[in-house]
């Protein structure tokens, strides 16, 4: 299962790279993480959000199962995440996860999302969101495989 992450912003900062590497190395087929980083807008506020959202949507295919990360989304536990990832796999849809920029994403991306996922009501910086996402996807893999990484 290739999960593509579409993220606004520059390459991973070094402290994030180290953490992401740790989880990517542990990922086993069919789990596979691909990062597609899109430049942030030089504008501010609504204009930046609109421009960045257009960039995001231009990379999304019709059949992609789009998971939008947003603090106002649905808060789920890790087994539910594992099941949520299984659904598109069962219907041969590619999974794309979107991480927005400093101003979040426009309503157009919210409308396109199949699932809006909140990691917490707290807002995290997007570099940290990348790291949390990598760990949670690794955790979902372990839950799906029935391995003991996840304890409740």
Ligand X SMILES: C[S@@+](CC[C@H](N)C(=O)[O-])C[C@H]1O[C@@H](n2cnc3c(N)ncnc32)[C@H](O)[C@@H]1O
Contact between 73 and 43 (Cβ < 8 Å): no
> Is 85 one of the binding residues for ligand X (CB under 6 A)?
no
> Is 116 one of the binding residues for ligand X (CB under 6 A)?
no
Cis peptide before 5 (omega within 30 of 0): no
**Is 120 annotated for ligand binding?**
yes
Q: How far is it, in rounded angstroms, from Cα 117 to Cα 146?
A: 23
> Is 136 one of the binding residues for ligand X (CB under 6 A)?
no
Q: Residue 35 forms beta bridges with which residues?
A: 5
Q: How far is it, in rounded angstroms, from Cα 119 to Cα 117?
A: 7
Task: Candidates 58, 120, 146, 152: give the one binding ligand X (CB under 6 A).
Answer: 120
> Is 125 one of the binding residues for ligand X (CB under 6 A)?
yes
Task: Candidates 51, 64, 70, 142: give the one binding ligand X (CB under 6 A).
Answer: 70
Minimal distance in Å, beta carbon 118 to ligand X? 4
Minimal distance in Å, beta carbon 14 to ligand X? 19
Per-residue binding string, ligand X, 39-68, x by CB under 6 A, is ------------------------------
> Is 131 one of the binding residues for ligand X (CB under 6 A)?
no
Q: How far is it, in rounded angstroms, from Cα 43 to Cα 120?
A: 28
Contact between 87 and 73 (Cβ < 8 Å): no
**Is 124 annotated for ligand binding?**
yes
Which token pair is 133?
């996402």
């Amino acid at each position: 299962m290739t999960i593509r992450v579409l993220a606004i912003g520059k390459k991973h900062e070094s402290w994030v790279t180290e953490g992401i590497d740790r989880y990517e190395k542990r990922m086993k087929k069919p789990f596979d993480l691909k990062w597609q980083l899109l430049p942030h807008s030089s504008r501010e506020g609504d204009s930046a959000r609109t421009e960045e959202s257009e960039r995001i949507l231009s990379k999304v295919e019709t059949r992609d199962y789009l998971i939008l990360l947003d603090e106002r989304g649905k808060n789920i536990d890790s087994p539910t995440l594992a099941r949520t990832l299984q659904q598109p796999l069962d219907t041969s849809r590619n999974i794309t996860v979107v991480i927005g920029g400093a101003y979040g994403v426009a309503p157009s991306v919210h409308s396109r999302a199949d699932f809006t996922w909140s990691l917490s009501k707290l807002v995290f910086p997007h570099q940290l969101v990348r790291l949390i996402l990598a760990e949670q996807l690794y955790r979902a893999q372990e839950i799906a495989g029935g391995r003991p990484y996840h304890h409740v």
